[in-house]
């Protein structure tokens, strides 16, 4: 696919979803899906009609082939995914307790994606992006992945390509101190910042939404989306700061909601919509993600999405 509007770079894993709400030791059967913050955003955007590309590295194994096949089936360009024998494709298991709370267990240390290096990327290809979307998960994977992310920020600034950045702090992958040291310099360089409310405390020393938004806009961000889970979202740009209420839905799996919000929000940005509309698009995508198991399985195609935007009551089905 030529001319992807959004290029995302990061690790995707095969996620095993248990068929029972109990500890994994008692689970007998699993279904498998693809999960990954960056590829989730690519799939969400692709479903909304925006050409996307996912760039990464997978192992020379069946799981690597499965990841590529699934993302390609969702319309994501995987032509710049490297297949490498430097490590296996990463996997993860979800665990659901009786009250539907989700937990995640990663088996990704030493994975193929963690060996991604600056020289692995096709920099000419990346010049064609309208937006580069990155997350703070990638620099947590290894020193070489951290170098890749820093290099991508420099490259995008040099080429005038807007960077969309979600710090997406994963405390299972690194310490808060290391996350703060690595991500604080990045978040203030991004053109579009999409973050959780709790991440403001760690990275910007504030949990006040107004303060977080003002700080980021002062540093040069063009658009800010602060995700508040069941409380909706808070967005800001040069036109102002706006509160966006949540869509009421029955929650079955909260994992992937933030990525779905990012996809809807970025679709609005690409379409030149006012920031409140971008946020409503993001909020609807997030609501649809939490109402189904798996990260992207509940996301709609464009026609269904537009219908739901017009008839918001319908998603309470």
State how far the Cα of 250 lies from the Cα of 147, in Å rounded to an integer: 40
> Among the options 122, 259, 301, 307, which is catalytic?
259
State how far the Cα of 290 lies from the Cα of 62, in Å rounded to an integer: 28
The tokens describing 10, both together, are: 């990061």
**Residue 316 class from Cβ within 10 Å (0-12 exposed, 13-18 middle, 19+ buried)?**
exposed
Q: Active site includes 231?
A: no
Residue 172 CB coordination number (10 Å)? 11
Which residues participate in catalysis according to the annotation? 259
């Amino acid at each position: 696919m030529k001319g992807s509007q959004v290029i995302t770079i990061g690790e995707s894993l095969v996620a095993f979803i248990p068929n029972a709400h109990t500890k994994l030791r008692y689970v007998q059967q699993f279904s498998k899906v693809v999960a990954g913050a960056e590829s989730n955003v690519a799939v969400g955007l692709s479903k909304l009609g925006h050409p996307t590309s996912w760039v990464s590295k997978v192992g020379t194994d069946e799981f690597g082939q499965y990841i590529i096949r699934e993302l390609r089936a969702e319309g994501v360009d995987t032509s710049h995914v490297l297949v490498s024998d430097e490590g296996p494709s990463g996997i993860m298991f979800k665990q659901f307790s009786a009250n539907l709370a989700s937990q995640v267990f990663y088996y990704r240390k030493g994975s193929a994606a963690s060996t991604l290096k600056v020289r692995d990327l096709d920099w000419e290809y990346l010049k064609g992006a309208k937006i580069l979307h990155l997350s703070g998960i990638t620099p947590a994977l290894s020193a070489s992945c951290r170098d890749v992310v820093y290099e991508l920020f420099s490259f995008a600034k040099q080429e005038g390509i807007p960077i969309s950045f979600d710090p997406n702090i994963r405390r299972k992958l690194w310490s808060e101190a290391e996350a703060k040291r690595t991500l604080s310099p990045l978040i203030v360089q991004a053109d579009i910042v999409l973050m959780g409310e709790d991440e403001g405390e760690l990275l910007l020393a504030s949990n006040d939404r107004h303060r977080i938004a003002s700080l980021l806009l002062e540093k040069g961000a063009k658009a800010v989306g602060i995700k508040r889970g069941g409380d909706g979202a808070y967005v800001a740009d040069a036109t102002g700061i706006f509160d966006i209420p949540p869509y009421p839905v029955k929650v079955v799996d909260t994992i992937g909601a933030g990525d779905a919000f990012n996809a809807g929000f970025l679709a609005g940005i690409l379409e030149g919509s006012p920031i409140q509309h971008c946020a409503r698009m993001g909020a609807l995508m997030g609501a649809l993600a939490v109402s189904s198991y798996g990260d992207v399985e509940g996301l709609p195609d464009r026609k269904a999405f537009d219908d739901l935007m017009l008839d918001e009551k319908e998603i309470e089905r």
